[in-house]
Amino acid sequence: MKKEFIQDLRAGESVEEIFVLAEKNLAQKRNGEKYLTITLSDRTGRIRGVVWDDVDRIASTTSTGEFVRVNGAVAEYKGALQLVVRDMAVSSPEAVDPADFVPATNRDVDKMFARLVEITSNMVNTHLKRLFELFWADDLFAQAFKTAPAAKKMHHAYLGGLLEHTLSMTVLADRIVPHYSGIDRDILIAGVILHDIGKVREFVYDTKIDYSDEGRLVSHIVIAVQILEEKLRLIEDFPRQQAVLLKHMIISHHGAREFGSPEPPKTIEAVLLHYIDEIDARVNGIRDFMAAEDTNEPWTSYHRLLERHFFRGRSGLPGQG
């Protein structure tokens, strides 16, 4: 268990701790001596480091992407902190808690999961209720579902993010359902819970969040349909039309072909799922973007994907607060 995290390091401290070796470059001084510049990471951030001694041995026994135990001291260089490394050696993955190295939700994962289980146990539609019993009883799936992130970058980009995003959408859906008459509540809730389950295989997240081969080649939308199909196969009398409608909600939830949905939403419930996903992803994503920078600035920097600056407001002005 890690005791020290990168965001808490202070100049002058000694460090004896495990990090992910994110980058490693062998360099050479004018006089021919070699040295190593590295980047270390954990879930709280990144720090650059330098190795002056025993360079050849350390360089040849460590690889980027591995957990390394580092012994060194924190210094300040060009206005930023830097770790002057005395020694660095590979640490076995078993010895570490991945959640220390990849950013994770700060909500209680088990409580969130329990709430989802409760919601599905109260479904009126017995086929759907049975379907989720099968899902929750599948330990491998449940574990992955509780750990996976919801994205690499845009929103809920941390361990547990998939569950957090899914639960938030489920609760939001339940707020919206009674507003319109005639919505099939259970199929909407089922669609919400299933829409992103493909992400349990779309990402790898042992030392950092990245796409898996399957994620890049097949996409979480198509993976999700396969995961669902595996469970449907176990229910003898699952109504064929409902099965197709569930798959439709999964594959259409991006809202349009150009965003990766092979078909656009064609039922009211699929349309609602798409907007609930948009709302939850946007609110979380924009807030994280606003919080990642100096929050005293009234405007964020330019958001490349959404193509705009966001306005935090000017708190000094009348009419704010």
Report in angstroms the alpha-carbon separations of 288 from 160, 194, 227, 230, 283: 15, 24, 30, 35, 9
List the interface residues with a copy of itself, window 176-205 (CB under 8 A): 176, 179-180
Query: Which part of the chain contacts a copy of itself (CB under 8 A), choosing from 60-68, 105-113, 151-159, 213-221?
Result: 213-221
Establish if 111 lies at the interface with a copy of itself (CB under 8 A): no
Minimum distance of a copy of itself from residue 79's CB (angstroms): 4
Establish if 319 lies at the interface with a copy of itself (CB under 8 A): yes
Query: Which part of the chain contacts a copy of itself (CB under 8 A), choosing from 1-9, 141-149, 152-160, 251-259?
Result: 251-259
Establish if 1 lies at the interface with a copy of itself (CB under 8 A): no
Minimum distance of a copy of itself from residue 226's CB (angstroms): 6
Output 86 or 127, the one with its CB closest to a copy of itself.
127
Establish if 279 lies at the interface with a copy of itself (CB under 8 A): yes
Alpha carbon 294 to its chain centroid, in Å, reads 23
Establish if 226 lies at the interface with a copy of itself (CB under 8 A): yes
**Residue from 145, 251, 253, 273 that binds a copy of itself (CB under 8 A)?**
251
End-to-end CA distance of the chain: give it in Å, rounded. 42
Output 46 or 312, the one with its CB closest to a copy of itself.
312
Minimum distance of a copy of itself from residue 143's CB (angstroms): 20
Minimum distance of a copy of itself from residue 57's CB (angstroms): 18
Minimum distance of a copy of itself from residue 148's CB (angstroms): 18
CA distance 233 to 142: 18
Establish if 275 lies at the interface with a copy of itself (CB under 8 A): yes
CA distance 96 to 99: 9
Torsion of CA 157, 158, 159, 160, to 10 degrees: -70
Q: Taken in order 99, 105, 107, 112, is the CA torsion positive or negative? A: negative
Largest distance between two CA atoms of the chain: 79
Establish if 78 lies at the interface with a copy of itself (CB under 8 A): yes
CA distance 54 to 62: 13
Minimum distance of a copy of itself from residue 320's CB (angstroms): 6
Contact yes or no for 104/89 (Cβ under 8 A): no
Percent helix, strand, coil in the chain, to 5, is 45, 20, 35
